[in-house]
Structure 1
């Protein structure tokens, strides 16, 4: 079997029939693209390696269970798995976002108290918790862009590449995410509490 002379679909078919080398060729063919897509999101070689392995395990399990039916679309399908695993990784990681609102203000500008008393630390903690809850309530597409931009500090070009949309779409989603987040913050009196967000 000459390297790269057969299509992805043919290699999958061969792998389903017990040809392990066929899967090795698939991995060899697409590994660097998949790794790069993951790395653009997580920005860490070790984590990207782990998530690549996790992606490949999921791919193997799906094919072996007979659930793979994306004929001719192997790479986009694998990239979707890699993208979802990368986003899930950040959802599980307990990180606080640095969210810059439309007017350029940081949501937590005034949260850096001169003396971190127990009370002020509790306010900070509670507010971060509320904010994370509000972010979870956003529509999926908006939530993903917000997480990528502020949790992961990705550029809009990287976000567009990772989510397979144009930069304009990524920017639009970000804009709506911030508008919706601001509305939610106002509803819960988070945005204009003088301790948290300046008017």
Structure 2
């Protein structure tokens, strides 16, 4: 043992124990900071994924609105319950009862709705980029507001404004986030 003159006591490893405790505390602080950083990056990625899904669903609804605006006559309507895969009509008549809305209110019926909905590229040939699967849109007529007699356009023909409800569903980049948007669009067909 080395004895240094001028120091009355010999050291017995107390410094080593204190240094190890400080090292342990610093390691715990670094680990906590790293976990917090990882959590923040996951939250940011999820928010970005949700934003992409929202924008894609919004784009699909915009495509459907542009398609409706381009029509000169009202589209052919079909009943929700009688629709079968392969039918060319995809605008549902829900003026009396909304079978589509009933289906969407049941969580187990999303696949049933997806079969009846059309991909966004039905309305616009441009695919929506950066999404896990292409957005889908369904259209339904929910109201017809007839014009009064002074606004009519042709004798013997009923004119008015048709209100369409649009349901748009899209996923984000990873497919783990999903956004469903509902909007209404009104148009007068002459």
TM-score by length of 2: 0.24
Structure 1 or 2: larger helix share? 1
Which structure has more relative contact order (CA 8 Å, sep 6+)? It is: 2
| Higher Cα Rg, which structure | 2
